[in-house]
Amino acid sequence: MTATIKKSGNTAAVEIPLQILHQANLKEGTDVAIFLTNEGEITLRAIRKRTSIQELFAGYDGGLYQSDELDWGKPQGGEIW
């Protein structure tokens, strides 16, 4: 399929055929990220919003967070501790 870049206000727009939108499971109003490769190709990727805490932590392996605190020594000036 081909499309034409058209002027839309102060920007440009490309009409995406409905068949492609349906195959990509996209619809009007879907937010997309736009990427430009070194080869000059433009890629659109849907921004899928997480809707639950379960989705947010779906890839979490259960490892514990460990902070790396630094000891800067005793106050040297007018620091308030």
**pLDDT at position 27:** 87
Strand-pairing partners, residue 7, are: 12
**pLDDT at position 32:** 92
More confident residue, 9 or 64: 9
| 56 contacts 50 by C-beta, under 8 angstroms | yes
**pLDDT at position 5:** 92
**pLDDT at position 81:** 63
Q: Is 0.85 surpassed by the pTM of this model?
A: no
Note the pLDDT tens digit of each residue in 49-73: 777 888 888 888 888 877 788 887 8
**pLDDT at position 59:** 83
Angle 4-47-29 from CA coordinates, rounded to 5°: 55
Indicate the helix (H) or strand (E) that contains 23: helix 18-23
The single-letter DSSP state of residue 24 is T
Domains plus CATH for the chain? Answer: 5-56 (2.10.260.10)
